[in-house]
Amino acid sequence: MLGVTVFPEYIQSEGIEPLLDNLLSRAPVSAVSISPYVMSLSSKEAGGEREPPADAEKGLTRLLERPLWGKKEVWVKASPSFTPSPELYNGLRYQPSKATDETRDLGPIIAEFIPAAQSHGLKVYFQIQSAIPPGYRVQFGGPIEDDRPLLPNGTEPDQTLDNNGSLASPHILDYGAALTTDLLQNYPDIDGIRIDWPEIPPYFLETVFTDFGPHVEQFARNNGFDFEDIRNLANDTHQRFFGSLTDKDLEAFIETPELLISDLRISEERAKLKTSIVANLIQHFRDAMDAAGGKEKALIPSAFPSPWNQLSGFDYATGGEIASAISCKYYTMHWPMMLRNYSDTLTRHNPNLSRKLLADCLCGAFEAVSPTPDSSGAFEYPAPQDNHIVSHTALSEKQKLVESECASAPVWPLTHAYGPIDDMVARARAVFSVSKKRLWINRYAYLTDEKLSALGAMMRNEAANTGSPN
């Protein structure tokens, strides 16, 4: 199976049948995910957001490889592709985006796309944000009031990328359930829903130490966790990493790489609390789908690979018991950015740390960058023409590990199309070859025709070598 994330703007820009014909003529695509919005051009001054996303300004080097309305960088606004049902959101803190003229004029293309794609034998899923109301697209929306994740000392992190709200917030959960119901009522033929960031995304070291807000405190008390003890331990560890870390600590982490991950997890109780919160959120979506008549429809959360999932709270075994499948994200252009974020934070708060030891420590613990640079200051977001500096063996091992942990549901490796053709294909092959011939590609915006053809050739060759086309 091969899935491709195709955001609505490309359906709008290229047209339904030309886009489908292009996909299917070049690669053995069996599924696509879209989103319930339509997009229109809007200047930055008028509140438009950059497409592609800036990834906390570090991804500004990234441009669209498949032009959108003739451009490789655009500023846009999004409107729902449907008219939300107000009664579903009655009394909720979060409300859906209002239907606009663009909803009326452009929105019907999403409803038209679903049966058109299905008539070609494709499964069609909606991708939505799990904790960023209104949930249609990552750039638009975010939490308000007491729904923002907090550090153990009660403050907000200085740096975040995802803009997730608290996963334990009943306001976030209730909105997600209402949106899910609305989507299934408006698009009853959709094959399922993919939820992004159903975890605490660990893009910055600060966010690893969240969430200790009031909703998490209440969740902990309701579920038998000693919140005060967990918070105190987390606060002690936070103070250590944010002011007391030494080169001796780094040397210990280098000698035993898993020790860094263990220390950042704080304790088993802290890890269990995170896992319980994530599982509760996924279950909330599952219950909403079932109640809306979607028991047969797939729920597919997307999650970080090991060891980041140990910090995000996503447990593949637990998630697999609830979800229909799980997408494991191999966004390898993000990985050096994340290690650089960690390095910058640690050296800012612990200025005497060796950058060489820090590079060795982070590379050993996360197996995200290879070869190891001489200094942690060398971690960089790759330019479009640069290969991603990651071990393909490490990619394969990460996929095998999450599949071994998730016995109840298939794990679809989700690779990113950003980067040179040969590098993209090699990264895709590394996980596809060990994943029972499953692959998901994010996203169409970076899949030039040449990349699509190369991807199709790789999959056909791999299938021929194993004697199994699927």
d(CA 425, CA 49): 30
Mean pLDDT of 174-184: 98
Mean pLDDT of 101-121: 97
Q: What per-residue confidence (pLDDT) applies to 137?
A: 80
Is residue 111 within 8 Å of residue 84, measured between CB atoms?
A: no
Tokens of 288: 């909403």
Tokens of 363: 């590379």
Tokens of 289: 């789908």
State the chain's mean pLDDT as an integer: 94
Does the domain formed by 2-466 have CATH 3.20.20.80? Answer: yes
pLDDT-wise least confident of 251-255, 418-422, 459-463: 459-463
- Is residue 207 scored above 70 in pLDDT? yes
pLDDT classification of 162: cutoffs 50, 70, 90:
confident
d(CA 142, CA 165): 7
- Is residue 414 scored above 70 in pLDDT? yes
Mean pLDDT of 105-117: 98
- Is residue 467 scored above 60 in pLDDT? no
Burial class (CB in 10 A: 0-12, 13-18, 19+), 316: buried
Burial class (CB in 10 A: 0-12, 13-18, 19+), 329: buried
- Which segments within 222-334 are labelled E, that is strand? 298-303, 326-330
CA distances from 303 to 7, 354, 398, 402 (A): 19, 32, 13, 10
Strands 439-442 and 411-416: parallel
d(CA 138, CA 119): 29
Q: In the chain, pLDDT over 90 holds for what percent of residues?
A: 87
| Nearest-10 crossing angle of helices 268-291, 214-222 | 90
- Is residue 55 scored above 70 in pLDDT? no
Q: What per-residue confidence (pLDDT) applies to 259?
A: 98
d(CA 354, CA 101): 56
pLDDT classification of 57: cutoffs 50, 70, 90:
low
- Is residue 276 scored above 70 in pLDDT? yes
d(CA 337, CA 134): 27
pLDDT classification of 159: cutoffs 50, 70, 90:
confident
pLDDT classification of 470: cutoffs 50, 70, 90:
very low
Q: Which helix (DSSP H) or strand (DSSP E) does residue 278 occupy?
A: helix 268-291
CB atoms within 10 A of CB 7: 21
Query: pLDDT tens, 298-351?
Result: 999 999 999 999 999 999 999 999 999 999 999 999 999 999 999 999 999 999
Mean pLDDT of 433-459: 94
Residue 231 CA to its chain's centroid (Å): 26
Mean pLDDT of 344-370: 97
Mean pLDDT of 54-77: 82
Count each helix (H run) and each strand (E run) in the chain, helices first. Answer: 18, 11
pLDDT classification of 49: cutoffs 50, 70, 90:
confident
Tokens of 237: 């560890």
d(CA 204, CA 53): 17
Q: What per-residue confidence (pLDDT) applies to 138?
A: 74
Q: Which amino acid is at 276?
A: S
d(CA 74, CA 243): 41
Mean pLDDT of 141-163: 92
Give the start-to-end residue ranges of the domains of the chain.
Answer: 2-466
Please give the biggest Cα pair distance in the chain.
62
Q: What per-residue confidence (pLDDT) applies to 51?
A: 87
Helix (H, G, I), strand (E, B) or coil at 298: strand
Mean pLDDT of 437-459: 95
pLDDT-wise least confident of 160-169, 192-201, 347-356: 160-169
CB atoms within 10 A of CB 164: 27
Q: Which amino acid is at 456?
A: G
* Length of the chain in terms of residues written: 470
Q: What per-residue confidence (pLDDT) applies to 440?
A: 97
Nearest to 436 by CA among 469, 394, 390: 469
